[in-house]
Structure 1
Amino acid sequence: MRRTDFDCLHIIICFTIIVAHCLLVFCPQPHYHLKNSVLSPGLGLIDEFNRIWFLPLFFLLAGWSSLVSLRSRGIGHFLKERWRRILVPMIAGIALFCPPIKYVELLQGRDLRPSGLRFVEPTQLSFLEFVPRFWTHINQATWSHLWFLAYLFLISVLLLPLLTRLTRIGSLSKSDPLPAMFAYLPFLPLAILVVGLDGWWPFYPTLYRDWANFCYFGAYFLIGAGMAAYPPFELCVQREWPRLGVIGLTASMGMLFAIDTPLGRFLAALATWANCGAILGLARGFLQADGRIFKYLREATLPLYILHNVFVVVLGWYIVHLPLGILAKFCLLTTMTLVTTIAIYHFVLRRLPVLRFLFGMRPFQPATIPKTVEPSGGLPTATESSQPANLRQPISR
């Protein structure tokens, strides 16, 4: 049985990320490839509010689906799937799209290196002259938004021994419902982790200088795997969604006034967990979809995620020079990015077998009635499983 609520969340998160990257062009946050000449602190607060839920939820859903995949298919198939669905698309995305992203960055006199942001003289090289430097100078390289795939692959492999152990506790899925207090317990270790390691800010996912956030996202991955291994915990969290939602919104508002402080990190940990729990509950109660458009978008999530950022940056380079206000530029950039990304996916990428492979999609298959559940072509957090009966009951709204 498919988890259509999780599939809906994948689609929502994918489009939220596209909008978030368009926002970054106009936000004060420094670590992005392109910036408008005038920046908006208000849009920056919106970006912070968005990031507080969709990044942790991404990894939580990835952990859930990884445990399900490992339980049903074994270690060998799991590792093969990680290679095909994560590593190959990441390498293809870096090779195809990151050189123009880095080139536009240098055209504006910005240089996001592994060590941080530098301001330099705008490059005088042509794009064709720059491409060899991208591959021969480590400081000229970038993985841009594809850091998520790198983090996800490493977390999946490093936590494989723990995932393997979690697959052995399936007999606990028929346990009695958990008390409501268990829905709030993950907050404490998450807060200790993010405050103790000075995580969350600054957010610059280079891996080797970002171990705090790497561990934090790994914790969410484990929580998601734990939900798949012990469904009463997932149901407990989902039933608490109204209270978690209030806590999450309150903590998020407080966090916005304490950014990059110990109090802000404490509130960020509280807000991320509460918002994730509330969203899971809302999705269970309200996000149930089917039909051709839903299936189309479900398969498109990973390719759209890989494709979109090059259009944000390249189109943004021309849009930021237009004599328009910030809001008009943002709306124009978002619209053009969505239209261009979906058009390239629909008319080119999804039709060519070699591109389907490079972007982590399944080959075209004739329409048949499946005997077993197969992973979707969407983001590598696909959510198919044989769902326990106690989680198929609707939760209280």
Structure 2
Amino acid sequence: MEKWTMASNDSRLHYLDAMRSVLMLLGLVLHSARPYDTGGWRVKDVEHLPWLDGLVSSLHLFRMPAFFVIAGFFAMFLVRRRTTGVFLRERMRRVLVPLVVVLFTINVLQAWFVSRFVEGQQGPFVSEVLIPAFWSGNLVSHLWFLGCLAVYFALTALVAPLLRSVDSTLAARAARIQTPILVALIAAAAVAPVAAAVVGKLASGALHQYVLGVVKPMTVLNYLPFYAVGIVLCMLPDVLARFSRVTLWSVAFALLGAAGMYVAGDSESLAMRALGLTAQALLAWMAIRAVFALFRRYTDHPSRTFRYLSDASYSIYLFHHLIVIVVATALLSVPIGPGLKFPIVLACASILSLAIYHLLIRRSAVLGYLFNGAVPPAARAAVSKPAASHAVSTAGVVETTAAPAGHGTMPGTGRA
């Protein structure tokens, strides 16, 4: 039985905080590997490390799907504790403020750097590089998930009254059928990619075009099942406990998914493509369960390190991508192998982006608001009065100091 319940205000799912921050930081590993795998990317070294293809594929399989499960979980957590208007305003601020700020500052600088020093373009930057990059979705780059979260939060607000109604009765009625519910959830989520592919095909490519340069409808559709399952897991803590375990059945289904992907291969037949999509989704869900189980087993306790990373990881992620590109470009002409370049790029991206957060963002209410969507704890403590119940940023944003337990600082999670 899961000890934690949604009615408690003094408990905290520490492992979800830890997992969320680690999933975000794994983005540094993923992007640092891209210059040296065999796929296409913005910066490519002449030498490759084929084993990095496996690392990149593995991270793609579970990292962002698991992140969206957590995002759905904490969205439902907040729907319980906020009015619909407050929920929508807080969530949109957390994702849209950093999205807009980084998109038109850091990502513009990134587009300029790539066009000049990687691609060697010398024409007008705005007309030949910036505007096409914006409308094609290239400018949004590693921020793509923020557009998805904005859509999900808007949809959540739209159906919030229904979610609260279902939530008030579902837990009691579902207490005796937890396993069937879990099986039904995973089964539905495993076949969801096939349905999404059919919808995308019927839409004749319209869903594959970026809207306002920041969000692709097909991507929103593909990750929606993960977000939706997170909402359900929040409603059913006992099902969450079962989900967060590795069992013989989950191992068997993971092997079945891997076998299905192998059989489907690169076949263009409709049946094989459907099999491949379902098998990949099944393997992804089993991987997500394994990640949940791992963090639940080893990190479900208070930790100053993970609390700091929970506060820092969002800002670190926002800054690291440009650093990876600059450092990887600088190393292109250095006569060392990719086996050394990869850890150098990863170390530089990690240390420099962490330093930016620790020395600048966490100490400034303004920078924290711009690059985190909220005033960081250190800055909030610095400007709050001992007897005050609120901390006010210099940007005029009010942050409650007694946020409900169980939510953190990442977009899609709980702290306002």
TM range (shorter): 0.7 to 0.9
What CA distance in whole angstroms lies between the structure 1 residues aligned with 2:262 and 2:33? 17
> Identity percentage over the alignment?
22
Going from structure 1 to structure 2, the CA distance change for 1:82 and 1:236 (only over 3 Å counts) comes to same
Deviations 1:283-325 (A, max 9, x none): 2232224243222111112111111111111111112322111
Structure 1 60/96 Cα, relative in aligned 2: closer, same or farther at 3 Å?
same
The amino acid across from 2:21 in the alignment is I
- Is 1:379 aligned to 2:415, yes or no? no
Partner Cα distance (1:250, 1:335) in 2: 37
TM-score by length of 2: 0.78
2:159 partner SS: helix
What does 1:152-163 correspond to in 2, within 5 Å? 152-163=149-160
Letter in 2 for 1:373: P
**Is the CA contact 1:241–1:279 (under 8 Å) kept in the aligned structure 2?**
no
Q: Is the 8 A contact 1:187 1:269 kept in 2?
A: no
Indicate how the Cα distance of structure 1 residues 132 and 21 shifts in structure 2: closer, same or farther if over 3 A, else same.
same
Partner residue of 1:314 out of 303, 316, 326: 326
> Is 2:290 the partner of 1:278?
yes
Partner of 2:68: 59
Give aligned pairs, total.
367
Deviations for 1:134-153, whole angstroms, at most 9, x for unmatched residues? 55554586101000101111
User: Could you list the per-position Cα deviations for residues 97-127 of structure 1 after superposition, in whole angstroms to 9, with x for gaps in the alignment?
Assistant: 11222223324666xxxxxxxxxxx2125xx
Q: CA separation in 2, counterparts of 1:293 and 1:48?
A: 28
User: Partner amino acid for 2:72?
Assistant: G
Contact 2:135 2:210 in 1 (8 A): no
Whole-angstrom CA distance in 2 between matches of 1:282 and 1:242: 15
Do the aligned partners of residues 237 and 177 (structure 1) sit closer, same or farther apart at CA in structure 2, a change above 3 Å counting? farther
The separation in 2 between residues aligned to 1:74 and 1:107, in whole angstroms, is 48
| Mean Cα deviation higher: 290-299 or 320-329 | 290-299
With over 3 angstroms needed to count, the CA separation of the structure-2 counterparts of 1:58 and 1:260, relative to structure 1, is farther
> Are 1:105 and 2:114 an aligned pair?
yes
Letter in 1 for 2:149: L
Is it true that 1:244 corresponds to 2:246 in the alignment? no
Where does residue 189 of structure 2 map in the other structure? 190
Q: Give yes or no for contact 1:194–1:265 (8 Å, CA) kept in 2.
A: yes
For 1:355 and 1:253, locate their aligned partners in 2 and report how far apart those are by CA, in whole Å. Answer: 48
SS at match of 2:369: helix
User: Bigger CA drift: 174-183 or 312-321?
Assistant: 174-183
Unaligned runs of 5+ in 1: 111-121, 385-397
Change beyond 3 A, Cα 1:73–1:43: same
Distance 1:235 1:90, change over 3 A: same
Shift of 1:342: 0.6
Structure 2 unaligned segments of length 5 or more: list them: 1-10, 201-206, 268-272, 390-400
Deviation at 1:166, TM superposition (A): 1.6
Which residue is 1:6 aligned to? 16
CA RMSD of aligned residues (A): 3.1
Letter in 1 for 2:375: R
Q: Which residue of 1 aligns with 2:6?
A: none
Distance 1:207 1:224, change over 3 A: farther
Q: Is 1:228 the counterpart of 2:249 in the alignment?
A: no
Q: TM-score, normalised by structure 1?
A: 0.81
1:287 corresponds to which residue? 299
